[in-house]
Amino acid sequence: MTKKRNNHNEGQIMIESIVGISVAITALLSSLSLVTSSLHYNSIVDRRLVGAHLAAEGIEIVRNMLDTNFATGASWTNGFPPNPFTFQVSYDTNAPITIQNGNPLLYRNGAYSYNALPGAISSGFIRDITTTPLTDPASGKVYAVSVSSTVRSADMENIVVEDRFYNWRQ
């Protein structure tokens, strides 16, 4: 007597293969999506970090200007107007540059500047520094300078660093 073969399992290997390949493709695409988004967020964090350093550098530049005034024997607020004043300046410029349409910092050889040297490219960062003298109402003397350094770029929100400098050497 011959046994009849049960053929109810036809195509099962093909379905298992399709399901297995679908799971593998889904896992691969998920991994690629994770890597892509990680690289994107890494570039955003890098731009924000550079922006924060440029804003802090703006504060340091104003501090150096005040220290230079003291070292040369000039009034400690020499070169700063008596009213709030917004300007752009970098370490390699001798004087503040009045803002005109928000000049972007130029990037060349790892440094940011407003000087258009050969090979300099636009960094996309705009640094505005605002100084506000704080005056004693009784004496009318400036006792401090409030400084705000704002860095902005088209692809990130503004980064603001603020500080106050007091005439402690009087």
User: Token pair for residue 39?
Assistant: 């690289």
- Select the highest-mean-pLDDT range: 71-80, 114-123, 157-166: 157-166
pLDDT at 29 over 90: yes
State the alpha helices, DSSP H only, in the chain.
12-71
pLDDT of residue 69: 86
Query: How far apart (Å, rounded) are the C-alpha atoms in residues 91 and 99?
Result: 16
For residues 138-151, average pLDDT? 84
> What residues contact residue 54 under an 8 Å CB cut-off, 6+ apart?
105, 112, 125, 127, 151
pLDDT of residue 161: 92
pLDDT-based confidence at 4, cuts 50/70/90?
Answer: low
pLDDT of residue 7: 61
pLDDT of residue 5: 61
Write down the pTM of the prediction. Answer: 0.75
Q: What is the mean pLDDT of the chain?
A: 84
Higher-confidence residue of 139 and 6: namely: 139
pLDDT-based confidence at 30, cuts 50/70/90?
Answer: very high
pLDDT of residue 87: 84
pLDDT-based confidence at 141, cuts 50/70/90?
Answer: confident
pLDDT at 8 over 70: no
> What residues contact residue 81 under an 8 Å CB cut-off, 6+ apart?
131
Q: Which tens digit of pLDDT belongs to each residue from 67-97?
A: 888 889 888 888 888 888 888 888 776 566 6
